[in-house]
Amino acid sequence: MTSSMCAVRSCKHEYKRRTEVVKYEVCTTPSSVLTAVRVLSQHRSIFLDCQGMSIGHIDGALSLLSLGTPLEGRDKKHQRIFLIDTLALAGFPDTSVLYSLRDLLSSQATVKIIWDGRMDEIELRHVLGVGIAHSPVIDLQVAEIIGRRKVLGESDYQRKIRLGKRAGLFPLLRSCPALFEGMHVVMTLGKCVEKYLPHTALKKDPNVTSLQSRKEMFRFLERPVPGFILDHSATNIRMLARLFDSFSSRQIVPRGHALRMLMQMSARRVSRNGLTTRVDASSPFRVEGLLLLDSIMAPAEAEMIDCTACGARLPTSSFLRKGQLRREQCRLCVALSLSTGHTRSHPEAKKLAATWRSLT
């Protein structure tokens, strides 16, 4: 195989009578990356996902940048998927490869479709020097949350039931309802595929789940990359493509003005409202699985405040107020600090999230 070609691989997913083969190309040479960029640049939208060890965190490292074209053909089975070895990028003597990749990611002509791109943004800025938050972006996780109420008709009661299933939150829903205003439980990509595409053959590789439970994510940095990690990375791109088509047909990904609003909210989510620091995985306030809608829906001119607990940059509406006092910690962190399930594992949280600041 010549250096200008990508290494072509595939993986097969089977569920009952359904089968889906995911073909992908591994790019480890300058010419193979340039080929990927050329193909991807021909499309108005592409799918993007990052894989590595604890990406976005203080000790994180990017291993693979996964990119894919939209599904094409009458049967919607044709898709080009490229897995770019970002560790190999550092050794490329030709800087034009890096610049071409940067141009693709920052292009205003290409919409990047992602799933919770916050950690992806951190790594892309660190490794490539450019992110995607200032280019057109659609975060399907955000689209799913907005779509629950507007498209699927989820009631506020159902929203609270989702929240109540979080450990120790049920009692708080009654005693402090203002704490949970606009707060939503978010799903992982795998869980969302199970919900919206229940009959698909695409499933998360249990070998990757096992790595996460054994805290062996360093294996993403092995070279050559283990086959099951390559398969997992390519499958995530196919999942994104299938979800996007499903969401578009259901109007969860809308059109016109509503789509532009979704893209604005996605950009706010991905950029973390302009926060560029890496995430501390050891923090007792590492908020996962919850989202305050006003954090991405506030007007562009809204005043932003950094939470003293989790460090997130959020609008003032994300903080509880009592007269002339305002909590120094956002409502997400306060909810965690009052959750019996969370304080059992992080007993210091309750004390750390109990301070107020005068507004006068």
Domain encompassing residue 297:
155-185+283-358
Distance CA 330, CA 93 (A): 46
Task: Choose the final residue of a domain: 225, 245, 274.
Answer: 274
* Shared domain check, 211 and 94: yes
The verdict on residue 213 lying in a domain is yes
* pLDDT bucket at 3, cuts 50 / 70 / 90: very low
Query: What are the respective helix, strand and coil percentages of the chain, to the nearest 5?
Result: 45, 20, 35
* Shared domain check, 316 and 246: no
What confidence tens digit (pLDDT) does each residue in 202-248 have?
988 889 989 988 989 999 999 999 999 999 999 999 999 999 999 99
* pLDDT bucket at 2, cuts 50 / 70 / 90: very low
pLDDT at res. 356: 75
* Shared domain check, 245 and 318: no
The verdict on residue 223 lying in a domain is yes
- Identify any residues that bridge with 14 across adjacent strands, giving them in sequence order: 19
Average the pLDDT over each of 34-48, 100-114, 161-175, 240-254 and give the range with the smallest value.
161-175
Q: Name the domain count of the chain.
A: 2
Q: Is the pLDDT of residue 337 over 90?
A: no
Contacts (Cβ under 8 Å, ≥6 apart) of 312: 272, 273, 275, 287, 295, 306, 330, 332
What's the predicted TM-score (pTM) here? 0.92
Task: Choose the final residue of a domain: 274, 304, 334.
Answer: 274
The verdict on residue 43 lying in a domain is yes
Q: Is the pLDDT of residue 277 over 50?
A: yes
What confidence tens digit (pLDDT) does each residue in 140-189 have?
999 999 999 888 899 999 999 888 887 567 888 888 888 899 999 999 99
The verdict on residue 2 lying in a domain is no
* Shared domain check, 120 and 84: yes
Q: Is the pLDDT of residue 18 over 90?
A: no
Q: Is the pLDDT of residue 341 over 60?
A: no
Distance CA 9, CA 128 (A): 26
* Shared domain check, 169 and 22: no
* Shared domain check, 166 and 34: no
Task: Choose the final residue of a domain: 253, 274, 295.
Answer: 274
pLDDT at res. 351: 60
Report which of 55, 57, 73 is spatially closest to residue 65, judged by C-alpha positions: 55
The verdict on residue 195 lying in a domain is yes
pLDDT at res. 1: 40
Average the pLDDT over each of 63-67, 159-163, 309-313, 352-356 and give the range with the smallest value.
352-356
The verdict on residue 1 lying in a domain is no
Average the pLDDT over each of 44-58, 277-291, 307-321, 343-357 and give the range with the smallest value.
343-357
* Shared domain check, 175 and 44: no
Average the pLDDT over each of 140-144, 161-165, 194-198, 257-261 and give the range with the smallest value.
161-165
